[in-house]
Structure 1
Amino acid sequence: MLSYPTVRTSLIFLTIALVGLLFADIAITANNPWRDLGNFFLGVLTPNFFSSEGLLTALLRTVAFAFVGVTVGAICGFLLALVYRFLPVRIFCAFIRAIHELFWALIFLQFFGFHPLTGVLAIAIPYSGIFAKVYSEILEEADPEPGRLLPPGTGTIAAFLYTKIPDCWVQLRTYTAYRLECGLRSSAILGFVGLPTLGFYLETSFSQGMYSDAGAMLILFYVLIATIPLWVKPKLLPVYILGAPFFLGDGLPIVWGNVERFFTQDIVPSPLRDDEGLSGLLPWLNELMIEQALPGIWNTVILTQIALVATGILALLAFPLISNHFGGPIRRTSGHVFLVIARSTPEYILAYILLQLWGPSMLPAVVALALHNGGIIGHLIGRQTNTIRLRSDAPHGFNRYGWELVPRIYRAFLAFLFYRWEIIMRETAILGILGIYTLGFYVDSAIQSIRFDQAMVLILITAMLNIGVDILGRFIRRKLALQTMPTC
């Protein structure tokens, strides 16, 4: 049976989302959305794989940016994990992972331009913070018994290499492989800010109404993700890692004077640059908060809460699609295909496609966030139900779903959902670049207007908001005695 605290918490979040709908801009504003949607699906069914000479190059660069960014992030994250117990390190890691890859890319574009270093650092920096957090938790859970069996006088480094690493190697390798898949998604969406990855050609095709070209790019991306176990082999990893930098492409030479000016002048609040002091800084901050930060925070929180609940509902509806307790092999295979597509497509790409088809509002963002995150949680919960053994006289149909399975997996479901909460918040903020009035919209507007000082303040606010949600999610998981780090 479900406990009272879990039911009460679920109802509280459901109520918040329903109230949020009263303030949300949920509408389809396109003139003929169903015709556009039909044209899009027709383009997917009739893909044009020979439309662009640069398509293969974009695919290779998408893979190259992912490998280099994830490799650098994993190395830095592992080193940070070794000292993660220190509070300043935890704060630093929480800060860098709270800023989305696209925000990092927008920052580096201002002084590195369209240089490969922009894309590599945009992936590596937030991934370093993520790797540090997860690697440290994996290492903390290592069995201490092998360490007690070492002979006296064994050095710390030797003890670490001979005890903790072998015990944690499978978990470290599995999570790193998962992060590589995430890195491919991050690399693809970097094209939306101008880097030569798959997202650049996808945006170009959509903006010109070439749906068959866009369909071909999406199919190639799905094939790339789905075949990772086939082409990412341990023996080939050194080849990929050493060869990837040569496929990043070339960029204009970095002008280090621009880097210096960015950090010493551009991001310094304009009242301080103009020697107005605190008397000018406080009104500047007050105007920024009232006109941009507070509206952005309000819309970001509303959209996040609606998307969080929509994600939960979709996950609960989706897990029977792959559960052995429902349907036959054909239905489960179809369910697997649907969930693979849903969780493999980055939220940003989903939202971009739906915005082109339905027009600008929060609805495309809610659907995109729910489909991607609901696909992930539905897949994990569905796999978990396959380990549950029901008695021979267990009910069938909806009674099996509602009375046998949901009560058994609901706590794990909530653990996954609250673990994804901070991730949904990060994505919600960045979706503002597409024209939705979240914090990302105001960040992008400030950058386009060459007001980098305002953009940096808004990015800092975004990071603090994400950190706050992460802390709140951890608190709720502890109060409900859920898994602090759900097993993926």
Structure 2
Amino acid sequence: MFSYPTVRTSLAFLAIAVVGLAFADIAITAANPWRDLGNFFLGVITPNFFSSEGLLTALLRTVAFAFVGVALGSFFGFFLALVYRAWPVRIFCAFIRAIHELFWALIFLQFFGFHPLTGVLAIAIPYSGIFAKVYSEILDEADPEPGRLLPPGTGRIAAFLYARIPDCWAQMRTYTAYRLECGLRSSAILGFVGLPTLGFYLEASFSQGLYSDAGAMLILFYVLIATIPLWVRPKLLPVYVLGAPFFLGEGLPIVWGNVERFFTEDIIPSPLKDGEGLSGLMSWAGDLMVEQALPGIWNTVVLTQVALVATGILALLMFPLISKHFGGPVRRTSGHVFLVVARSTPEYILAYILLQLWGPSMLPAVIALALHNGAIIGHLIGRQTNGIRLRPDAVTGFGRYSWELVPRIYRSFLAFLFYRWEIIMRETAILGILGIYTLGFYVDSAIQNIQFDKAMVLILITAGLNIGIDALGRYIRSKLALQTMPTC
């Protein structure tokens, strides 16, 4: 139900977003944006599945990178979860998951090049931190009663394996399956930095105006995501995980001297390498903060807050699409398909498409973030409303929506929204690579100019900002007595 603190918090975030709109660049700068958008949709409904010989190879490698990255992430994340209560482990996991997969890929590209290890580590490292956090919460919430029923003298390891793990197994398996879907999205967008996954071919098709080719790639990706329950079976997982490394492709041999040089020279601030001392370092850091870090932080925060509120609005508008309390099965099926497509499309790919059609501004990023995250939250709370039983004489239409359902799911809605706040921040930062002036723009510019020292500082600032937003989101959920970790 509504309460004064939840209403006050909601209005405060709405006011912040409205103020943010005054500073946001949301103009459409393309000469014929609607014609371009029409051409794109025409390409989607007239896909060319035989345009590229490398398309199926790209899909296969997208799946291979996802399986290897998620498998490694879940493996190391599980062992990190066992010691997650130790504050150094929590800090380490928060740091590695705060850096987006594309940022990790940009780092590894500098010394591994276009080697499969770049893509695998770019997924595995942040996912290890994510798995550690979620697995630890699942283990902490396990029922302690089965452990008390074990024979006296049972060791801690045996008790863990025979009592704790069976109780948590279903939740851990479900979450890992969800992470595999996320891994497929992460793997696809790695192509935008040059790795041979789906994003590489999608970017090439758009740059040449081949919308039918791009439409075919998107449709194949949606089919891949939608059919996960059909081809990802528990008995086949060992086969997929063991076979995936053989389909990652080959890259140039790794020059380990480049790795050493990157950590011992490239990322060392230039004033220290040039012997300018502390004064030179302070001047260098000050210029970096004023010229790049502060503008990047400002634009990242503004875009995040606008996208967060837009996500909430769309989620509240979209959950009736799959709720049994509105319309019949045909409409709910159509709504389900729409939400699946919206939440399956990576924000980065959707923002890239809209930027090509509408021109560079924050508007494509806001729409991409709001559609993707709004569809996820709308799906979750829509499913939640299906468990609500209404009286036979309950009002219908808008009254049912506004008086019967929204008040009952609003607290869960806020829990989901604040939980995804940090995720929206991570995506906002990385969208700068597409030309929006968030922190990712300055990171990418520094890398392009071979200023790795500046790039690493900006990436660390991005991680710190994400950690701060994550902590603030947890604090707000705690103050409002919302679920710390939504599990619907």
TM norm structure 1 = 1.00
- Stretches of structure 2 that go unaligned for 5 or more consecutive residues are none
Q: Secondary structure at the match of 1:30?
A: coil
Q: Mapping of 1:303-382 within 5 angstroms?
A: 303-382=303-382
Q: Does 1:68 align with 2:62?
A: no
Distance in 1 between residues matched to 2:435 and 2:379, nearest whole Å? 31
**Alpha-carbon distance between aligned partners in 2 of 1:146 and 1:299, rounded to the nearest angstrom:** 51
**After superposition, what is the alpha-carbon deviation per residue over 1:271-315, rounded to whole angstroms, capped at 9, x for unaligned?**
111111211100000000000000000000000000000000000
Q: 1:243 and 1:414 mapped to 2: Cα distance?
A: 41
Cα offset for 1:147?
1.0
Distance in 2 (alpha carbons) for counterparts of 1:334 and 1:424 = 27
Structure-1 residue corresponding to 2:250: 250
Q: Deviation string for 1:192-227 (max 9, x for gaps)?
A: 000000000000000000000000000000000000
Match in the other structure for 2:30: 30
Distance (Å, rounded) in 2 between the aligned partners of 1:389 and 1:278: 67
CA positional deviation for 1:152 = 2.0
Secondary structure of 2:360 counterpart: coil
Give the aligned partner of residue 169 of structure 1: 169
Q: How does 1:383-422 map to 2 (within 5 A)?
A: 383-422=383-422
Give the Cα separation in 2 of the matches to 1:220 and 1:146: 45
Partner of 1:423: 423
Q: 1:200-239 to 2 correspondence within 5 Å?
A: 200-239=200-239
Tell me, in whole angstroms, the C-alpha distance in 2 between the residues paired with 1:310 and 1:56: 36
SS at match of 1:368: helix
In 1, distance between residues paired with 2:365 and 2:202?
A: 18
Instruction: Output one character per residue of 1:354-408: Cα deviation in whole Å (capped at 9) or x when no partner.
Output: 0000000000000000000000000000000000000011000000000000000
Between the aligned partners of 2:151 and 2:293, the Cα distance in structure 1 is 58
CA distance in 2, matches of 1:263, 1:159: 43
Tell me which amino acid in the other structure corresponds to 1:108: F
1:185 aligns with 2:185: yes
CA deviations 1:224-244 (Å, max 9, x no partner) are 000000000000001000000
Report the alpha carbon displacement of residue 175 of structure 1 after superposing the two structures with TM: 0.2
How many Å separate the matches in 1 of 2:89 and 2:274? 35
Unaligned runs of 5+ in 1: none
Specify the SS of the correspondent of 2:234: coil
- Rounded to whole Å, the distance in 2 between the matches of 1:337 and 1:226 is 9
2:474 match: 474
- Aligned-pair CA distance for 1:122: 0.1
Aligned to 2:452: 452
Any idea what SS the aligned residue of 2:392 has? Answer: coil
The secondary structure found in structure 1 opposite 2:60 is: helix
State the shift of 1:336 in Å: 0.5
Residue equivalent to 1:151: 151
1:196 has 2:196 as partner? yes
Q: Deviations over 1:240-261 (max 9, x none)?
A: 0000000000000000000000
Residue 146 of structure 1 deviates from its aligned partner by: 1.1
Q: Aligned pairs, how many?
A: 488
In structure 2, what is the Cα distance between the partners aligned to 1:482 and 1:225? 31
Distance 1:154 1:144 in 2: 15
Cα distance in 2, alignment partners of residues 177 and 192 from structure 1: 25
The DSSP-based 3-state class of the residue aligned with 1:138 is: helix
| Cα displacement (A) at 1:150 | 1.5
Kindly, what percent of the aligned residue pairs are identical? Answer: 88
1:78 paired with 2:70, answer no
AA aligned to 1:338 is F
CA distance in 2, matches of 1:149, 1:212: 62
Q: Deviations over 1:304-341 (max 9, x none)?
A: 00000000000000000000000111111110011000
**Letter matched to residue 10 of structure 1:** S
Q: Which secondary structure state, in structure 1, belongs to the residue aligned with residue 235 of structure 2?
A: coil
> For 1:237 and 1:307, how far apart are their aligned partners in 2?
36
- For the aligned residue pairs, the C-alpha RMSD in angstroms reads 0.5
Is 1:433–2:467 an aligned residue pair? Answer: no
Whole-angstrom distance in 2 between the partners of 1:370 and 1:27: 17
> What does the per-residue CA deviation read over 1:126-182, in whole Å, with 9 as the maximum and x for residues that have no partner?
000000000000000011111111222211111100011000000000000000000
Alpha-carbon separation, structure 2, partners of 1:264 and 1:52? 42
Take 2:271 and 2:151, find their aligned partners in 1: how far apart are those partners?
A: 63
CA distance in 1, matches of 2:330, 2:163: 45
SS of corresponding position for 1:235:
helix
- Structure 1 distance, partners of 2:198, 2:159, is 44
Residues in 1 aligned to 2:374 and 2:186: alpha-carbon distance in whole angstroms: 19
